[in-house]
Amino acid sequence: MKKIPIKVKPNLNINFAGIKLKNPVLTASGTFGYGEELAEFVDLNLLGGVIVKGISLTPIKGNPPPRIWETPSGMLNAIGLENPGVDVFLTEKLPYLRKFDTAVIVNIFGYSLDEYVKVTECLEGVQGISAIEVNISCPNVKAGGMAFGTDVHATSELLSAVRKATNLPIIAKLSPNVTDVTEFAKAAQDAGCNGLSLINTLLGMAIDVRCRRPRLANCTGGLSGPAIRPIAVRMVWQAAKAVSLPIIGMGGIMTGDDALEFILAGASAIAVGTANFANPRATLDVLEGLENLLIEQRVGTIQDLIGKVNVR
Amino acid sequence: MNRLSKATVLSHKSVGRGYYRIVLNAPEIASAARPGQFVMLRVSENLDPLLARPFGISDVPTKSSVEILYRVVGRGTTMLTGRKAGEQLGVLGPLGRGFPLPEKNTTLVMVAGGSGFPPLHFLSRQVGCSSHLFLGSRDRACLPPAGILKNFRSSCTRVHIATEDGSMGTKGMTTDILNVFVTKLEKKFNIVLCACGPHSMLAAVSRIATVHAIPCYVSMEERMACGLGACMGCSIPMKRGGYKRACKEGPVFDAQEIDWSERVALPFPQMNKRLNTRER
């Protein structure tokens, strides 16, 4: 690694599966709406990209409240993938995002293989979409979602079908609720995916001991936030060793240090999630922190640090 | 304006009955805030608790300051009590949609239950029309602090109190005395109901409003993570199906919009029975 003089602005450009990102900082799906919700606080032009909230073929109402519960250094959610559907996304949400010089990655899901394929087809040839992130790991819906992401055969079948439906790069968002994440990473690679997103939320539960009822109406929910970061780093590290696909690392990233942890573990890009709720400027704080770290360590280009954790 | 800022705590005191009053130096929020809107306060800069807490704005005491009245209910509010004058707090706001401000010839009827009075405190100090406040609680000790009651008494035409044990005001439910009041009114036009409190009380107020064909606005509470419409956590069920976000489309909603059936199992059985009879 070439040491560069102090105070030279590092090169944060990343080529992720053929997508040119101006920096590796993205927004995790479901934590940044469709960009507009937080644009008052974040100039979207400064981000590497926006991964939008999950889109399905038809509008989804979502789960009844209460949908969220705070836990130590984290939170449980069971939103239930509420979204306005792909038609509204294309006519009302995407035109706003097109105004910005940032990569738009569209997160999709369905309740059947057929629905995944159909929503993918709706995005084919649409201007302003850089890639599709396929959510096979939402823990909060009964059919679809995690049902695909925790069965390696279902994962293969689904991702192969989505692959055939589009020429856009596809990124599989894998579930951490599995024993061996590398099996799923390999299945995604064999199915022709161009990248991986790791990790989605961990299935959790909290109980009100006075009412003796679950805190969430859905009973269980997905755990996110700094509480899950070590698990996410471990899974990124395992997956990065098992496959050659580039990885978007996520799970409790709050600072530039946290982001670099994922990059050293093998992630080529990172996504800021729950931190956006705690601090709407979190993405920019992470970006600034990352840049300062590179300056401090006199690293000229972020590319040089991907997977560079020293394991003795 | 920049809705995300650091605000210096100007004063922070216990005001009795388990409530605290914190005043923040926040000129931008003070000039933009409307009654019914809220702010997200970071009770600590650490990762635990991770999320900011929503608080209804209870007053804008000066052009540059914002007052929050809160009751200690859990870990977040307990930690907040430790923040001293001179310290800085992360604050996001003003957020959400507030109460519509009633016109001069209107009679504003406010209904507060439990710790739901702060947004109505702000409202009562902003309106120029005649106003009534209906306050209800389990007993005398659960009513708003004496100083706040005094403020309400000076800004409202009349304050009506009901306690379940009869230790102050009329014995019974707020909604009972509200119903009697509204029924006795000769002219039911130009009345607006604004309510904030427990879900069951709001549902009952909404029914009274429906029966008497009075416009009714309710401030809804739901747990929220971001306050900005991104997390989709604070969903309120709507009558026409689906949900709206308390942080963005609310927290104040037209009571007619809300599907009250989704959560409650008859909080005031005697009252529902009476209303049902009337409806028939």
Specify the pLDDT at position B91: 97
ipTM for the assembly: 0.92
* Helical (H) or strand (E) element with A21: strand A19-21
- The percent of residues above 90 in pLDDT, for chain B, comes to 79
- C-alpha separations of B168 from A244, B165, B176 in Å: 73, 8, 15
CA distance, residue A43 to nearest chain B CA (Å): 13
Range with lowest mean pLDDT among A188-192, B125-129, B225-229: B125-129
Specify the pLDDT at position A140: 65
Q: Searching chain A, which residue's CA lies closest to the CA of residue B76?
A: A70
What is the per-residue pLDDT across A80-115, written as a single tens digit (0 to 9) for each?
999 999 999 999 999 999 999 999 999 999 999 999
- Averaged pLDDT for residues A1-17: 81
B271 confidence band (pLDDT: 50, 70, 90): very low
Specify the pLDDT at position A93: 97
A217 confidence band (pLDDT: 50, 70, 90): very high
Specify the pLDDT at position B276: 37
Closest by Cα among A156, A79, A80, A166 to A130: A166
Q: Are strands A131-135 and A103-108 parallel, antiparallel or unpaired?
A: parallel
Contact A62 B47 (CB under 8 A): no
What is the per-residue pLDDT across B240-258, written as a single tens digit (0 to 9) for each?
999 999 999 999 999 999 9
Asked if pLDDT for residue B277 goes beyond 60, the answer is: no
Specify the pLDDT at position A197: 98
Specify the pLDDT at position A73: 95
Give me the catalytic one of A138, A193, A211, A219: A138
What is the radius of gyration, based on Cα positions, of chain A?
A: 18
Closest by Cα among A218, A133, A225, A227 to A172: A133
What is the distance between the alpha carbons of residues A207 and A215, in angstroms, rounded to a whole number? 5
What is the distance between the alpha carbons of residues A208 and A91, in angstroms, rounded to a whole number? 42
Asked if pLDDT for residue A139 goes beyond 70, the answer is: no
Asked if pLDDT for residue B263 goes beyond 70, the answer is: no
- Averaged pLDDT for residues A237-264: 98
What is the per-residue pLDDT across A162-189, written as a single tens digit (0 to 9) for each?
999 999 999 999 999 999 999 999 999 9
Asked if pLDDT for residue A8 goes beyond 80, the answer is: no
Pairs from A304-309 (Cβ < 8 Å, separation ≥ 24) = A304/A1, A304/A2, A305/A260, A305/A263, A305/A264, A306/A263, A306/A264, A306/A266, A306/A267, A306/A268, A307/A240, A307/A264, A307/A265, A307/A266, A308/A1, A308/A264, A309/A237, A309/A264, A309/A265, A309/A266
Q: What is the mean pLDDT of chain A?
A: 94
- Averaged pLDDT for residues B225-230: 96
* Token duo for residue A229: 């970061």
What is the distance between the alpha carbons of residues A242 and A290, in angstroms, rounded to a whole number? 26
What is the per-residue pLDDT across B80-112, written as a single tens digit (0 to 9) for each?
999 999 999 999 999 999 999 988 889 999 999
What is the per-residue pLDDT across B1-50, written as a single tens digit (0 to 9) for each?
789 999 999 999 999 999 999 999 999 999 999 999 999 999 998 888 99
Asked if pLDDT for residue A24 goes beyond 80, the answer is: yes
Specify the pLDDT at position B279: 33
Query: What SS3 string covers chain B?
Result: CCCEEEEEEEEEEEEECCEEEEEEECHHHHHHCCCCCEEEECCCCCCCCCCCEEEECCEEEECCEEEEEEECCCHHHHHHCCCCCCCEEEEEEEECECCCCCCCCCEEEEEEECCCCHHHHHHHHHCCCEEEEEEEECCHHHCCCHHHHHHHHHHCCEEEEEECCCCCCEECCHHHHHHHHHHHCCCCCCEEEEEECCHHHHHHHHHHHHHHCCCEEEECCCCCCCCCCCCCCCEEEECCCCEEECCCCCEEEEHHHECHHHCCCCCCHHHHHHHHHHHC
Specify the pLDDT at position B274: 39
What is the distance between the alpha carbons of residues B41 and B72, in angstroms, rounded to a whole number? 14
Specify the pLDDT at position B2: 84
Specify the pLDDT at position A4: 66
CA distance, residue B196 to nearest chain A CA (Å): 19
Specify the pLDDT at position B71: 94
Does this model's pTM top 0.90? yes
Asked if pLDDT for residue A138 goes beyond 90, the answer is: no
B154 confidence band (pLDDT: 50, 70, 90): very high
Specify the pLDDT at position B189: 72
Which of helix, strand or coil describes residue A213? Answer: strand
Q: Catalytic residue at A219?
A: no
Chain B hits for A53, Cβ within 8 Å: 232
- Averaged pLDDT for residues B228-240: 95
DSSP codes joined into one string, A215-237: SSTTSEEEEESGGGHHHHHHHHH
Window 218-257 of B: residues touching A by CB (8 A cutoff) are 222-226, 228-237, 241-243
Closest by Cα among A226, A298, A297, A235 to A267: A235
- C-alpha separations of B215 from A103, B125, B192 in Å: 46, 21, 5
Asked if pLDDT for residue B235 goes beyond 90, the answer is: yes
Closest by Cα among A270, A272, A284, A202 to A236: A270
Residue with tokens 């959510």: A135
In this complex, which of A31, A69, A254 lies closest to B223 when CB atoms are compared? A69
- C-alpha separations of B30 from B23, B24, B80, B91, B237 in Å: 11, 9, 20, 12, 31
Asked if pLDDT for residue A284 goes beyond 70, the answer is: yes
Specify the pLDDT at position B143: 92
Please say whether the dihedral angle defined by the alpha carbons of residues A150, A151, A156 and A161, taken in this order, is positive or negative: negative
Asked if pLDDT for residue B273 goes beyond 80, the answer is: no
Specify the pLDDT at position B255: 97
**Which residues are CB-contacts of A58 (< 8 A; sequence separation ≥ 6)?**
A85
Q: Is B48 on the interface with A (CB under 8 A)?
A: yes
Q: What is the mean pLDDT of chain B?
A: 90
- Averaged pLDDT for residues B171-198: 89
What is the per-residue pLDDT across A44-74, written as a single tens digit (0 to 9) for each?
999 999 999 999 999 999 999 999 999 999 9
In degrees and rounded to multiples of 5, residue B209 shows phi and psi of: -60, -40
CA distance, residue A261 to nearest chain B CA (Å): 18
Q: Which has more confidence, A148 or B32?
A: B32
Contact B224 A74 (CB under 8 A): no
Q: Searching chain A, which residue's CA lies closest to the CA of residue B242?
A: A61
Range with lowest mean pLDDT among A7-11, A117-121, B266-270: B266-270
Contact A75 B242 (CB under 8 A): no
Q: Is B261 on the interface with A (CB under 8 A)?
A: no
According to DSSP, the residues that pair with B65 across neighbouring strands are B25, B62
Please say whether the dihedral angle defined by the alpha carbons of residues A91, A92, A97 and A103, taken in this order, is positive or negative: negative
